[in-house]
């Protein structure tokens, strides 16, 4: 009897959920908002196909979604979640970070656009906004210092002829598509660096196989906004995944594996669009991004870390050079406890 009551109750709730979904999905669009018809979608798709067939118009569309067709700044904020992959098993949650990007866009020659890129991020406990300076590596149990991320100013260029190299930031390698009422611009960047720090000289900080960086970034925006001739830029949703060799500060040496990042965010109006606490943490950990005008000397996070390690070695303070330093053992994937 109890089982039949539970079954009847389950079906009543299921039926209610189905009815509610039907009501919501069939509800009229908000007053004043035009509902696109099949003919509208076909016309928009045809227009997009026409734009993409013209290299100059395609370049302008890309600039409009990623940045601006006129000279000016675009700001974006993203949340990153970083996972470790040790060559087998599930991903291991590592940490998160809050990421701020500023790009200065300027029309160039031959329908191209010149960009100056500035970026910074501070690290947090996984899936929180609690800033951290140190982190316990679950693959070793060692507590390591985390250098907050600063990159820029980096010059970039987007234009009609920049889609050939897989190691470029040009957005042409993957097809630009329309889904529903949004246009999607996917990018693919694949870079390989030769070994910079050998394990013979730098122990767990080093790597003898070089570094690999695979990044997949997607911008999406409302297609009608993109085709609005009065707009020089549109606000885009931004999603990214990357797959990158271990950073030196993980101190994993030649251990197999990489980190995977999952990020999501959007263009924002500026610093005032950040929550007060996040804005304060940027000011504390990466103040460069809040005032980029004096920021003229290029910063690259991996180069900064190499310099810092070299300075520590020269000063005699590098941890792995100390007599009492005991190397940590890297665990196998099935030995890691994932909380």
Read off the pLDDT of residues 262-320 as tens digits, 9 standing for 90 and up: 999 999 999 999 999 999 999 999 999 999 999 999 999 989 999 999 999 999 999 99
The pLDDT value recorded for residue 98 is 98
The pLDDT value recorded for residue 26 is 44
pLDDT at 248 over 90: yes
Strand order in the sheet with 211-222: 149-158, 113-124, 92-107, 72-85, 258-268, 237-245, 211-222, 182-193, 177-179
The pLDDT value recorded for residue 162 is 60
Greatest distance between any 2 Cα atoms in the chain: 79
pLDDT at 20 over 60: no
Q: Distance between CA 187 and CA 171 in Å, rounded?
A: 5
Angle separating helix axes 38-52 and 55-66, nearest 10 degrees: 110
Are 172 and 162 within 8 A, CB to CB? yes
Average pLDDT, whole number, for the chain?
88
pLDDT at 18 over 60: no
pLDDT at 108 over 70: yes
Contacts of 207 (CB under 8 A, 6+ apart): 195, 197, 198, 199, 245, 246, 248, 253, 254
Q: What is the mean pLDDT of residues 64-75?
A: 97
Q: What is the mean pLDDT of residues 32-42?
A: 84
State pTM to two decimals: 0.87
- Say what percent of the chain tops pLDDT 90: 75
The structural domains of the chain, with segments of one domain joined by +, span 31-314
pLDDT at 167 over 60: no
- Side-chain-facing half-sphere of 77: CA atoms under 13 Å: 14
The pLDDT value recorded for residue 133 is 96
Q: Distance between CA 9 and CA 6 in Å, rounded?
A: 5
Q: Which two tokens stand for residue 126?
A: 């996984």
Say how many C-beta atoms besides its own lie within 10 A of residue 223's C-beta: 23
pLDDT at 8 over 50: no
Q: What confidence tier does 79 reach under pLDDT thresholds 50, 70, 90? A: very high
The pLDDT value recorded for residue 234 is 97
């Amino acid at each position: 009897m109890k089982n039949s009551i539970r079954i009847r109750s389950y079906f009543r709730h299921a039926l209610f959920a189905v009815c509610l979904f039907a009501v919501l999905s069939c509800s009229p669009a908000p007053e004043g908002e035009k509902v696109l018809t099949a003919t509208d979608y076909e016309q928009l798709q045809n227009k997009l196909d026409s734009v993409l067939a013209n290299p100059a118009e395609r370049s302008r569309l890309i600039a409009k979604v990623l940045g601006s067709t006129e000279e000016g700044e675009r700001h974006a904020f993203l949340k990153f979640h970083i996972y470790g992959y040790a060559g087998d098993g599930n991903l291991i949650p590592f940490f998160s970070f809050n990421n701020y990007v500023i790009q200065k866009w300027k029309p160039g020659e031959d329908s191209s656009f010149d960009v100056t890129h500035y970026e910074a991020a501070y690290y947090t406990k996984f899936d929180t906004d609690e800033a951290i300076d140190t982190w316990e590596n679950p693959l070793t149990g060692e507590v390591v210092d985390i250098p907050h991320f600063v990159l820029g100013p980096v010059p970039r260029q987007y234009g009609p002829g920049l889609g050939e190299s897989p190691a470029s930031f040009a957005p042409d390698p993957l097809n630009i598509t329309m889904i529903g009422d949004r246009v999607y611009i996917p990018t693919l960047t694949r870079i390989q660096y030769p070994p910079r720090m050998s394990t013979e000289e730098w122990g767990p900080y080093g790597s003898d196989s070089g570094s690999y960086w695979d990044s997949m970034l997607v911008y999406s925006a409302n297609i009608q906004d993109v085709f609005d001739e009065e707009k020089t830029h549109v606000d885009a949703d931004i999603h990214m995944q990357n797959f990158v060799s271990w950073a030196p500060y993980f101190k994993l040496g030649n251990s197999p594996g990489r980190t995977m990042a999952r990020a999501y965010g959007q263009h924002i109006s500026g610093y005032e669009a950040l929550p007060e606490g996040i804005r304060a943490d940027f000011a504390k950990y990466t103040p460069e991004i809040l005032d980029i005008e004096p920021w003229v000397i290029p910063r690259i996070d991996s180069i900064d870390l190499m310099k810092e390690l070299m300075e520590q070695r020269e000063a005699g303070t590098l941890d792995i050079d100390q007599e009492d330093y005991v190397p940590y053992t890297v665990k196998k994937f099935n030995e890691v406890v994932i909380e």
